A and B are shown apart, each in its own frame.
Chain A
């Protein structure tokens, strides 16, 4: 794999390569998202395997500076390409001071060309923010808020290691409304060990009373190497019961439908047109985004017929000492990369004007098409439209995956209305079996 060596090239070449990356980024014509990672939390939750750290307060200032610097470099590379969505995620962005948040968002507004009516989301966690901070976010142009409520049951919140209680969550929601947020998402988790269906219904009752525009309901996954995984392995906690989780999921699907919500993605519901998260839709539609901050991922498509859509070295326009590299000799249709995960390493590299990229992979056409399916089929109503697939990949969906489509259709897991394929209600429950048909 020759590109392994190019990643160790001298600095001059790195900078040259980075210019090429900028060229690819600037050349795209579709919607573009900007993900900004804030890798800090007041406390790390025992189930969480995100790239986030507690007790790194001393780095907040240096981090803000490095992050702004990386954004500045990207803004220059994009060379005026419009950014359609911005997502401030983490971690808990609101652990940063008003000043730090202000500088980050100011950088977004000043350096990037934002589309008119761009969606700017921020994550928030009850118990951290006060009314003033919500108001600040509003003033800084944030127009969508996603709050990690997780549960309204005290025992569950304790198990999940959350720093807030149910009252905090209600207060935070009210404060966000008062600060002027109309587009609010609440995150919940189900399928927790020892969680009863009744308790889940209770949490749903309260959530539905609040009537947020958007709800995300996630089935708890025991991720490897988390404290939760250790608890399960050592018997300190029972493992989540798949059957109970399935029942809770079905309960949620039917109750939210009755309450007027539309399930637009496997774990996401929306009330009212236009409130689906546009940034996340970029992911599910396998479109393009730039991620900044440690561990942040980016994904760009090579412009059709571009020089980049070829093999070998030229497919990997990266510098930096990359650890994980995957790819094949097939022409690349898209490229994905991510930054180093450690906060200090990230700051050091950015401040030294080195590339913070530590992983990249070139995606051959067939892999990229598989991702389009695996991601697109998560969109319950929209599915994968035939026209968009063909426009994106240069060949009809049926030509790429005909036999798989037929098999899944016959198995009752996929359906088509002539314009798109999407999961059937049964397919939704066993989505992995459908998605895995399309991967290598």
Chain B
């Protein structure tokens, strides 16, 4: 197809602002999928998802839009809708998806207005010179205030408020206008079909029959089946099983040329084998340079993950492997904790990614699991001059070998109604955050910018923000550089033995308070033993908080006569069964629930 008749675009929207509803309407409106097929297809993929434990989702859909205009013959346009991941932790993937487009439809809920994530994605799109097509959605809602929101968009984009499309994706109002606007505003792709092949991988997923399927945008050159390919940055050879386009069902194609969007079924066995952002070229006639923007994915947040019942360790491993098939950003390695038994150390891109994984493991795989306190990737510089990224507090060398510890900082944006400025500033500064900027979006809404250590926002930050602002605030963060910081390892010792699962890396200023809380919590939940059990919080050899669990002085059934024997025996049997579930730390029996309680302990 003539490049002039191709439009590659994505939809940017805050969660629940109507991105997928609008996508569905576009697909139906263009007749790509009939109403009946739409439903069936949805059901099919859900069944398959359940059966195979893999997510089948179209990352890109090719629609043929027949544009009618007065007095001219209708013209067919190839409209490629490219999906973007919704969460801020996937900023990198979002950018790669944006990179595959020339335009972006910005969907804003006419009742809720602009949110932090919307702006983050919008800025990324503008950085890549995408043409923005703003759309006000949900104008059917009684709470909609389209004029106000349109004004906000005008302030943000310098698009006249009056020109902004007002639609209801739910009620199919003004869908044709959206398509017309895209054709009119979004430029056709540039690119030279005659140059050497450069195709950008903007997403991939695992298919049980075709292996890893890469979603690509051909930037230059021509991709023809079945030529051998090369992923330039990772230097990986690919022998494609097939290439094609998504309608949204995959349809084989013999070639994809510059400007087009499609897929390559690579036959590779794991999504780790292929990196989003990498450039695919012909093995026989490779392009010299990859496309810009590639970065290998790096987990930034780590947490231990343990089954509450050690018998389900293998189920947990299976679940992680399945998740991993489709989530290349998730890393996991076996880890053993004295207190919690066999488990895994998981690496996540960020806190939202961690939440998604946690939720999916619990919901989709029905597993009872314990997450240990999450930790960020600290950079440790040793006295001998070497440097490494610390993923687990257990791996921290002795203090004498540490030159310094650096922690990752991020820039944090919070959007909220202005009456919540006080509570937000309070919670952010309490967490070592620094105010960078306050920007009034209008008389009622404010954008607050901060610098804050990543470690401070990975535990309960988002929940607390929501609680403090009655759910009205939204946030986004972008990782920035590492800064040296006065970090210490805080250990909890029971009867002189450190409890590995409870060790955390923490800023020295917060260590005392946290240590006290952990000690008093542990004191409550450790049952009395036959001897006095000291509980201490310590930094290195220095004890900063301590308490004692008193010894049991008497534990004997006072009465046991003929009528009591069965009941008393069962009581003792239960006592014994409870003891079996205890974890031994040194010579102290600690119920596993104790760890769960301490780990779930929320900071106030």
A residues with a Cβ closer than 8 A to B are 33, 35, 51, 218-221, 242-243, 245-247, 249, 266-267, 280, 282-284, 289, 291, 295-297, 299, 326, 336, 338, 361, 367, 370-371, 374-375, 378, 428-433, 435-437, 439-440
Contact = CB atoms under 8 A, between A and B. Distances in A.
A361 B553 CA distance: 34
Contacts of A247: 553
Interface of B: 530, 550, 552-563, 565-566, 568-569, 572-573, 575-576, 579
Contact of A431 (B553, B555, B563, B569): B555
A297 B554 contact: no
A439 B554 contact: no
B554 A433 contact: no
A283 B562 contact: yes
A306 to B, nearest CB: 22
A291 B550 contact: no
Given A246-B554, A436-B575, 15 more contacts: A220-B558, A221-B559, A242-B553, A243-B550, A266-B557, A283-B562, A289-B562, A297-B562, A336-B566, A428-B556, A432-B555, A432-B557, A432-B572, A435-B572, A436-B579
B559 A218 contact: yes
Nearest to B557: A432
Given A436-B575, A436-B579, A439-B572, A429 B554 contact: yes
11 contacts: A218-B559, A221-B558, A266-B556, A291-B563, A295-B563, A297-B562, A299-B562, A338-B563, A374-B560, A430-B554, A435-B557
A218 B558 contact: yes
Nearest to A280: B561
Given A361-B566, A371-B565, A371-B569, A436 B576 contact: yes
Contacts of B555: 429-433
A197 to B, nearest CB: 13
Nearest to A428: B556
Given A249-B554, A283-B565, A267 B559 contact: yes
A-B complex: 8 closest residue pairs judged by Cβ atoms = A431-B556, A246-B553, A246-B554, A219-B558, A436-B572, A436-B576, A297-B563, A283-B562
A35 B563 CA distance: 10
B573 A431 contact: no
Chief secondary structure at chain B's binding surface: loop
B559 A297 contact: no
Contact of A432 (B561, B563, B575): B575
Contact of B556 (A33, A338, A429): A429
A291 B576 CA distance: 29
A108 B372 CA distance: 67
Residue of B558, B561, B568 ringed by the most chain A CB atoms within 10 A: B558
B482 to A, nearest CB: 52
A245 B554 contact: yes
Contacts of B550: 243
Contacts of A280: 561
Nearest to B569: A439
Contacts of A283: 560-562, 565
A297 B553 CA distance: 32
A219 B558 CA distance: 6
Contacts of B530: 430, 433
A297 B566 contact: yes
Contacts of A338: 563
A374 B566 CA distance: 11
Contact of A266 (B553, B558, B575, B576): B558
A332 to B, nearest CB: 14
A432 B566 CA distance: 15
A367 B566 CA distance: 10
B10 to A, nearest CB: 59
Contacts of B579: 436
